[in-house]
């Protein structure tokens, strides 16, 4: 018998499935689809319960799961592949933007966990961007790509 997944679990599964298939083409349209689906799942999570404590508890569980997943995903990512690193940065950017927008939602009473997760994802994003710039940036590399 299949178990019924909570919305928190479905949010985490959505993030995991998309990040595990970063090689999908066309990536930009899949990324837009991910953006809309993640936002709709989070809105569903916020409107599911009427009790603010239930809303905060469910959101906190989903956010902590997202943070743990991205920590694991970054640790096992092959940072020597430019395409994978670039796409991981784009996914993390979209997720960070969506979670940052939730900071302005009045339905969330306790924004402590949300703030912590947004800050952690922002730090991860900055570290990945610096790593990308270190490995694949620079004027000489760009000129080589342009001419060769």
- What are the structural domains, with CATH classification, of the chain? 7-147 (1.20.58)
Rounded CA-CA distance 104/29 in Å is: 27
pLDDT in tens, 103-147: 898 888 888 999 999 999 999 999 999 999 998 877 777 777 777
**The pLDDT of residue 89 is above 90:** yes
Q: Which pLDDT score, from 0 to 100, does residue 148 have? A: 67
Residue 2: pLDDT band (50, 70, 90) is low
Query: Is residue 27's pLDDT more than 70?
Result: yes
| Torsion over CA: 122, 128, 130, 132 (sign) | negative
b (16+ CB within 10 A) / e for 42-66 = beebbeebeeeeebbebbbbbbebb
Q: What is the pLDDT of residue 1?
A: 43
> pTM of this prediction?
0.88
Confidence label for 4 from pLDDT (cuts 50, 70 and 90): low
Rounded mean pLDDT of 66-71?
96
| Averaged pLDDT for residues 37-64 | 89
For the chain, what is the mean pLDDT? 89
Query: Using an 8 Å Cβ cutoff, are 95 and 122 in contact?
Result: no
What is the pLDDT at residue 14?
A: 93
């Amino acid at each position: 018998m299949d178990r019924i997944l909570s919305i928190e679990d479905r949010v985490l599964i959505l993030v995991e499935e998309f990040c595990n298939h970063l090689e999908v083409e066309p990536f930009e349209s899949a990324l837009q689809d991910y953006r809309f689906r993640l936002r709709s799942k989070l809105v569903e999570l916020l409107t599911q319960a009427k009790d603010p404590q239930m809303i905060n508890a469910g959101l906190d569980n989903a956010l902590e799961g997202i943070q743990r997943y991205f920590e694991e995903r970054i640790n096992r990512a092959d940072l020597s592949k430019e395409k994978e690193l670039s796409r991981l940065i784009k996914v993390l950017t979209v997720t960070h933007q969506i979670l940052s927008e939730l900071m302005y939602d009045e339905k969330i009473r306790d924004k402590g966990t949300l703030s912590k997760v947004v800050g952690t994802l922002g730090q991860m994003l900055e570290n990945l961007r610096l790593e990308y710039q270190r490995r694949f940036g620079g004027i000489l590399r760009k000129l080589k790509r342009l001419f060769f």
